[in-house]
Structure 1
Amino acid sequence: MTKCLAKAGATVLVPARNITKAKKALFEIENVVLYPAELDLSKRDTVESFITWFLEHFSKLDILFNCAGIMTVPYKTDSFGNELQISSNYLGHYHLTNGLLPSLKNANGARVVNLSSRAHWFGPFNFVDPNFEDISYDKWIAYGHSKTAMSLIQIFLIHYRMRK
Structure 2
Amino acid sequence: MTTSTPITTPFTHDSTAMDVIQGVDLGGRRAIVTGGSSGIGVETARALASAGAQVTLAVRNTDAGQRAADDITAGTGNDRILVAPLDLADQGSVADFVANWDGPLHMLVNNAGIMASPEMRTPQGWEMQFATNHLGHFALATGLRPALSAAGGARIASVSSAAHLRSPVVFQDIQYERRPYEPWEAYGQSKTANVLFAVEVTRLWADDGIVANSLMPGAIQTNLQRYVSEEELNRLRAGNAAAWKTVEQGAATSVLVAASPLLDGVGGRYFEDCQEAGLAAPGDRRGVAPYALDPEAAERLWQVSTALLKG
Q: Which amino acid counterpart does residue 83 of structure 2 have in structure 1?
A: L
**Aligned-partner SS, 2:171:** coil
CA apart distance, 1:154: 4.3
Equivalent runs, 1:39-118 vs 2, <5 Å: 39-54=86-101, 58-118=102-162
Of the three residues 175, 184, 188, the one matched with 1:144 is: 188
CA distance in 2, matches of 1:163, 1:77: 36
Of the three residues 45, 54, 60, the one matched with 1:2 is: 45
**Is there any run of 5+ residues in structure 2 with no aligned partner, and where?**
1-43, 209-311
CA distance in 2, matches of 1:152, 1:61: 22
Quick check: 2:105–2:151 contact (8 Å CA) kept in 1? yes
CA distance in 1, matches of 2:48, 2:192: 27
Q: Deviations over 1:64-104 (max 9, x none)?
A: 11111111111011121110000000000101000000011
Quick check: 1:101–1:162 contact (8 Å CA) kept in 2? no
CA distance in 2, matches of 1:157, 1:9: 27
Of the three residues 14, 19, 36, the one matched with 2:62 is: 19
State how many pairs are aligned. 159
Q: Which amino acid counterpart does residue 143 of structure 1 have in structure 2?
A: Y
CA distance in 1, matches of 2:67, 2:107: 24
With structure 1 as the length reference, what TM-score do the two structures score?
Answer: 0.92
**Is there any run of 5+ residues in structure 1 with no aligned partner, and where?**
none
**Aligned-partner SS, 1:82:** coil
Identity of aligned residues (%): 35
Quick check: 2:69–2:82 contact (8 Å CA) kept in 1? no
Quick check: 1:75–1:84 contact (8 Å CA) kept in 2? yes
- Which residue matches 2:36? none
Of the three residues 68, 81, 101, the one matched with 1:32 is: 81
CA distance in 2, matches of 1:23, 1:59: 22
Quick check: 1:105–1:162 contact (8 Å CA) kept in 2? no
Q: Which amino acid counterpart does residue 188 of structure 2 have in structure 1?
A: G
CA distance in 1, matches of 2:207, 2:174: 29
Q: Which amino acid counterpart does residue 34 of structure 1 have in structure 2?
A: V
CA distance in 2, matches of 1:18, 1:117: 24
**Aligned-partner SS, 2:56:** strand
CA apart distance, 1:155: 2.7
CA apart distance, 1:158: 4.5
With structure 2 as the length reference, what TM-score do the two structures score?
Answer: 0.49
**Aligned-partner SS, 2:46:** helix
CA distance in 2, matches of 1:149, 1:7: 31
